């Protein structure tokens, strides 16, 4: 948990290393819609209302994922039983006169991203604290209180701003304003994604116990051309490995999980898939994992958080390699 908190704090402090590209926010969110529906669950209606001719923005696509997952997860937590979460985009133009009368706004052209819910809402006292690191209204163990602080950090890093409206019993609306991209040259990094697609329908077994991360990583892998078998627990992963033992080409697993670690998952999966290659991911550094017994002469490791390009590059190298990763060993 300490590693995850540290990385969130880096985001809050606006020091997260990013790879900005020119993107259409409508396309990004539409591509995430299936994953977002999994995040919010079946009892909550998901409504998507995009602006027809939306301005472009320039920012790291992974940060859009982080914003959406955090806001939708926060909205879900505010709803008891059935409800509705609405995501909308809109062009916004603020002149000097408007900003003089509304000091919370900044002059310029913006893309507005709105996430609203029909949840319990917040009092003025709670509303005043929601962006403070470690502030949370949830029970102990139900969250770090860093989600909204991270969202504000990302928005500030991209020279945007956030407004929030909420009332008890009515719901909450977050509006994020991101500067519109005014250049004319298409960012070359937009083309890089297509060049890096490593998948051709191969099957990947994905093991991740973090509810918000599992659908996000699954979506990334599917965009890269893979078929994904997603498991939110070790037991589910073992069952999928047995059922699809002749289909799985690669195991991608979190390292630290409640039931057992990723190395032990690999050892179990190898019983039915002896030639399977493995990629491990964690919020901890590789050095910390080695100190905890995560060993192997060919350590295939991806540090969280990662971009889709990071994932593509790592998988591409792995599936092109003729070397088979050493069987993971753990200390007893």
Among residues of the chain, what percentage have pLDDT more than 90?
A: 23
The pLDDT, as a whole number, for residue 289 is 65
Number of other CB atoms surrounding residue 202 within 10 Å:
17
15 sits in the region (left: phi over 0; alpha: psi -120 to 50; else beta) called: alpha
pLDDT exceeds 50 at position 310: yes
Of 25, 65, 36, 11, residue with least CA distance to 311? 65
The pLDDT, as a whole number, for residue 326 is 39
pLDDT exceeds 80 at position 161: yes
pLDDT exceeds 90 at position 332: no
The pLDDT, as a whole number, for residue 272 is 83
Contacts of 159 (CB under 8 A, 6+ apart): 179
Region 64-77 average pLDDT: 86
Burial class from Cβ neighbours inside 10 Å (0-12, 13-18, 19+) for residue 23 reads buried
- Listed in order, the ranges of the chain carrying CATH 3.30.565.10 are 2-179
The pLDDT, as a whole number, for residue 77 is 85
The pLDDT, as a whole number, for residue 151 is 84
The pLDDT, as a whole number, for residue 83 is 92
- Listed in order, the ranges of the chain carrying CATH 3.40.50.2300 are 196-320
Residue 13 — pLDDT band, cuts 50, 70, 90? very low
Least confident of 28-42, 119-133, 256-270: 119-133
Bond from prior residue into 167 cis (ω within 30 degrees of 0): no
12 versus 121: the higher-pLDDT residue is 121
The answer to pTM > 0.75 is no
pLDDT exceeds 50 at position 330: no
292 versus 148: the higher-pLDDT residue is 148
CATH class of 196-320: alpha beta
The pLDDT, as a whole number, for residue 15 is 52
Range of 122-136, 264-278, 287-301, 302-316 with top mean pLDDT? 264-278
The pLDDT, as a whole number, for residue 274 is 85
Q: What is the DSSP string of 236-280?
A: HHHHHHHHTTTTEEEEEEES--SS--HHHHHHHHHHH-TT-EEEE
The pLDDT, as a whole number, for residue 264 is 83
Region 236-250 average pLDDT: 89
CATH class of 2-179: alpha beta
Region 194-215 average pLDDT: 75
Host H or E run for residue 192: helix 189-195
pLDDT exceeds 70 at position 129: no
């Amino acid at each position: 948990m300490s590693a995850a908190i540290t990385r969130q704090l880096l985001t809050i402090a606006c020091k997260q290393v990013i790879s900005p590209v020119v993107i259409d926010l409508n396309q990004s969110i539409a591509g995430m819609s299936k994953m977002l529906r999994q995040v919010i669950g079946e009892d909550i209606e998901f409504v998507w209302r995009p602006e027809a001719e939306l301005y472009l923005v320039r920012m790291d696509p992974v940060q859009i994922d982080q914003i959406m997952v955090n806001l939708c997860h926060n909205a879900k937590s505010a709803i008891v039983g059935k409800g509705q979460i609405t995501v909308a985009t809109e062009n916004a133009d603020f002149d000097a006169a408007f900003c003089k009368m509304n000091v919370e706004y900044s002059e310029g052209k913006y893309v507005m991203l709105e996430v609203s819910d029909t949840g319990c809402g917040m009092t003025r006292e709670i509303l005043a604290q929601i962006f403070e690191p470690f502030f949370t209204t949830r029970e102990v163990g139900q969250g770090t209180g860093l989600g909204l602080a991270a969202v504000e950090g990302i928005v500030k890093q991209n020279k945007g701003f956030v407004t929030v409206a909420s009332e008890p019993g009515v719901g909450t609306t977050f509006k994020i304003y991101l500067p519109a991209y005014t250049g004319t040259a298409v960012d070359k990094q937009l083309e890089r994604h297509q060049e890096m697609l490593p998948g051709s329908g191969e099957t990947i077994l994905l093991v991740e116990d973090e509810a918000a991360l599992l659908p996000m990583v699954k979506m990334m892998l599917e965009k890269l051309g893979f078929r994904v078998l997603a498991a939110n627990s070790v037991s589910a992963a073992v069952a999928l490995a047995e059922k699809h033992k002749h289909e799985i080409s690669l195991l991608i697993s979190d390292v630290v999980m409640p039931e057992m670690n990723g190395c032990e998952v690999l050892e179990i999966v190898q019983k039915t898939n002896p030639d399977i290659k493995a990629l491990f991911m964690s919020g901890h550094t590789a050095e910390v994992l080695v100190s905890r017994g995560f060993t192997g002469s060919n350590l295939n490791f991806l540090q969280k958080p990662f971009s889709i390009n990071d994932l593509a590059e790592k998988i591409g190298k792995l599936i092109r390699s003729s070397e088979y990763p050493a069987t993971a060993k753990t200390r007893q």
